[in-house]
Amino acid sequence: MNTVSAYIFRQALGPLLAILGALAAIAILTQGLNQLDIIITNRRAGLAFAYVTVLALPQLLSLILPMAVFIAVVYALNRMHSESEIAVLYGAGVSRQRIARPIIQLAVLAALAHLAVNVVVQPWSFKERRETLYALRTDIASSLIEEGSFTYPTEGLTLYARSRGGGGELRDLLINDARPDLPITYTARAGAIVTIEGKPAIVMRDGQIQQQQESGSVDVLDFDRYVLQMGTTLEEPDFFFLKASDRTLYELFYPDRTSHYDQRNVNRFLAEAHSRLSAPLLNIALAMIALAGVLSGEFSRQGYTRRIMGAAFWALLVRLIALATPAAATDDPRLNALQYALPLGVILVCMAVIGGKSARRKRHSLGPSVLQDAAA
């Protein structure tokens, strides 16, 4: 890479890293707000939330990288145009292709990074993130019981604990279970919440059961140890079924033929696999749209707002179509071909615009006139 190419490469790389950082920060904040309930109700959730946030980064990077590449390229080229650097390069005999080469190299590197994230990092991070979130939600002693307050973990069940001791122990328990036809009240000196067969239960010690009968009398029973099933208060642990986002490419292309869940989602898995392989091409396609939008046409002292707006429209349209295609391919697998055809078609069209005959004629017409305009 010569001096000119290295300079152009750096001009686009800096904004790309800055844009990625800014967009990632916004996306992470959004993810944090979505999990705010866990942070509030779980005292140990601080470090766990940070871990979950890090695990969300591969997905966020995969989503925002193509548009970040487009914005960075537009910003870099527009700045070079506004400071007459592009005009000077044209006057020195540098072609559009030479100016575009380092931008394309940056886009290819972004595409390779995108591919590595999609194929290797994202499946692991998706699965790990959902399992971590489920583990946080199943920390029932922290998430359901607030000492000194009444809590309602499920309909018809009210719990109160005066304080919490070490090891998750709950002290001075009062529980009212209105789920049976005849409500039952439990009191206990101590207890702890556990998970039995995937469902939460509370084990009480040294307590009493009081149940009012239809006649108005109250039956009282003392116990040393009693287990109360709390019902299904947690969301179904769906990570036991690997979703499309959690699977490796091999698992997506070759699902388990003996699994009913896999058989019902073959098309979804196939669409996800092709999306992971084709999405990195969008980095190159959107960079080419930026190049075609800014470099095509003659030098203008008034700026390139209209060209940039036009390029932004096409870039956004291509990105939206690319986002919608995997869902459509779930219903019709033949549309998986569109996931590759869209970015490849955009690349070819933009190559024709940048290197076409009309572009070359305009380039040859530049030189002294452009330098005079730039100097003016």
Can you tell me the distance from the alpha carbon of 370 to that of 372, in angstroms, rounded to the nearest whole number?
5
What count of other Cβ atoms lies within 10 Å of the Cβ of residue 109?
A: 15
Q: Where are the domains of the chain?
A: 3-137+240-375, 145-229
Assign 209 to helix, strand or coil.
strand
Tokens at residue 326, please?
């995997």
Tell me the mean pLDDT per 10 residues along the chain, length 376. 87 92 78 61 60 80 92 92 83 86 95 94 83 64 69 80 77 87 88 75 90 84 88 47 79 86 89 94 96 75 76 95 94 94 95 66 45 46
Question: Half-sphere exposure of 95 toward its Cβ, with a 13 Å CA cutoff?
Answer: 10
Which two structure tokens, joined as six digits, stand for 362? 């305009």
Determine if the pTM surpasses 0.85: no
Point out which residues pair with 212 in neighbouring strands: 218
Cα 256 from chain centroid (whole Å): 26
Of the candidates 372, 369, 309, 360, the residue with the CA atom closest to the CA atom of residue 96? 360
| DSSP state letter for 82 | H
Residue 163 pairs with which residues in a beta bridge? 171
Please name the residue that has the structure tokens 């058989």: 263
- The alpha-helical segments, DSSP class H, found in 83-223 are 85-91, 96-116, 122-137, 140-143
With residue 154 as reference, give the H or E element that holds it.
Answer: strand 150-154
C-alpha span between 374 and 91 (Å, rounded): 10
> DSSP string covering 214-242, please?
TTS-EEEEEEEEEEEE--S-S---GGGS-
* 245 phi, psi to nearest 5 deg: -70, -20
- From CA 69, how far away is CA 90, in angstroms rounded? 24
| Residue 42 pLDDT | 53
Per-residue model confidence (pLDDT) at position 247 = 85
